Amino acid sequence: MNARNLHPADQLISVMQRIYSGKLTTTSGGNLSIRGDNGDIWITPAGIDKGTLTRKDIICVHPDGSWDGPHRPSSEYPFHASVFKRCPTVGAVLHAHSPSIVAFSIARKLPNTSVIPCLDSICGRLAMAPYALPGSAELGEKIGAEFDKGADTVLLENHGVCIGAKDIFEAYRMFETLEYAASLSIAASKLGGKPTSPDFDTMAALPCAGELPCELTAAERGARRDMVDFIRRSVRQGLFGAALGSCSVRLGEDSFLITPAGLDRAFITEEDLVRVDNGSALGGEAEAEAALHRSIYRKHPDVNAVMLARPLHVMAFGVTDTPFDPRTIPESYILLRDVKKVDAKLIRNDPDGAAALFAPAQPALLFANDCLVTLGSTLLQAFDRLEVAEATAHSIVAARDVGDIVHIASSEIDDLKVDFKLPD
């Protein structure tokens, strides 16, 4: 089902549930709106628990200022109306008080979204609006003025964020990515390393070769089902975001399934997955990193699944010069071994060279200022490595506030290699 075909009230409920369940706003904080075809504005109500909203709670404000619904419109309605009035291409407005964005809001600084290039393109141009009383016309004017200057996302001094987008799902995608960027900056600062900057070009998409055949094999249908389960699980576990993360599964010689480009990972269905045969995409546009996935499968016949993600704490190492050393607990080393940090230019300019860096003793690589890639003989194993990598990185970042980290000694690593028959 295409969520964009839902009634505006249902769209607002769907997105607010994601925001609240993700702990990205509070019971009383934040509000969402959608511009209707006839000038109506559908908006969340004032004073109603964000955790229990239903479609019947959503308010429709008409152009003459009257409204339909059992509650008053959000007290922030004036700035929603101001954005819609000033920006004819904006179809939805999102306002929320997520923790990391608020941290930047109260420090009156903008998060760095260019540290990983894809974040910049998703979040758009950032600006900061001066403080004004919540719900006031003055606040609406100050936010609207920043949109007039070309901003896509406006942080509000000591308040939160306001995002204008073509629809509410795009607004959520931008919001979640900005919160990730803010959280990444905070986590990276805890490591104390020197920040690094990206220096690579965008990737070229694989050519599209048309539609899939009408009949799929049972094996492919099973692979599609399993992939969707793990994609949704990755979203729930915070390993993928609405706009971040891809995975693939081998089908045969030079044939694999991969996540589609541009679709919200929370809503991907079995039909959305793209099949790549001999370097061409069937049934849609493949994720940008598809060329790397293909090179990995061609180079490593024992690999049957690839996960590519940007988990928050792992990427804190990816955007600084701090090494990511998983010799923390035995499980981490057994599954990840020594995670090397390598140049992300290889993904774009030499995917075969990037694929050659993997080995049985090197099942995970961290591409600087870009992503973590984990391999597996099964999709479960590739996912497990991704999940363990993020848990390991999280514990290292947290340990910085506890005391000096003591890694497992070399002699103990040798014992692990022998007892668990780890490849060299």
Q: Are residues 247 and 376 in the same domain?
A: yes
Using H for helix, E for strand and C for coil, what is the string for 170-212? HHHHHHHHHHHHHHHHHHHHHHCCCECCCCCCCCCCCCECCCC
Give residue 271's pLDDT band: very low, low, confident or very high (50, 70, 90).
Answer: very high
- Is residue 164 in some structural domain? yes
User: What pLDDT, in 10s, does the model give residues 93-115?
Assistant: 999 999 999 999 999 999 999 99
Average pLDDT (213-226) is 93
Q: Is 398 found in the same domain as 281?
A: yes
Residue 1 has pLDDT above 60, yes or no: no
In this structure, the answer to whether residues 179 and 296 fall within a common structural domain is: no
Same domain, 289 and 179: no
Half-sphere exposure of 407 (CA within 13 A, CB side): 14
Q: Is the pTM of this model over 0.85?
A: yes
Token couple for 155: 């942080």
Return the residue matching tokens 């049957």: 304
**What is the pLDDT at residue 387?**
98
Instruction: Choose among 49, 39, 47, 74: nearest CA to 59.
Output: 74
Q: Write down the pLDDT at residue 200.
A: 82
Q: Which domain covers residue 170, as residue numbers?
A: 3-191
293: confidence class by pLDDT, cuts 50, 70, 90: very high
Judged against a pLDDT cut of 90, whether residue 205 lies above it is answered with no
Q: What is the pLDDT of residues 249-258, one digit of tens each?
A: 999 999 999 9
Q: Does 281 lie in the same domain as 139?
A: no
What is the mean pLDDT of the segment spanning 164-187? 97
User: What pairing do the DSSP bridges indicate for beta strands 280-282 and 305-309?
Assistant: unpaired
For the stretch 116-134, pLDDT in tens is 989 999 999 999 999 999 9
Whether residues 185 and 224 share a domain: the answer is no
Residues 225 and 348 placed together within one structural domain of the fold: yes
Torsion of CA 189, 193, 195, 196, to 10 degrees: -140
Helices (H), 22-116: 77-86, 99-107
Q: Which of 173, 191, 209 is the last residue of a domain?
A: 191
Half-sphere exposure of 402 (CA within 13 A, CB side): 8
Question: Is 114 domain-assigned?
Answer: yes
Share of the chain above pLDDT 70, in %: 100
- 309 and 379 inside one domain: yes
Total number of domains in the chain: 2
> Is 357 part of any domain?
yes
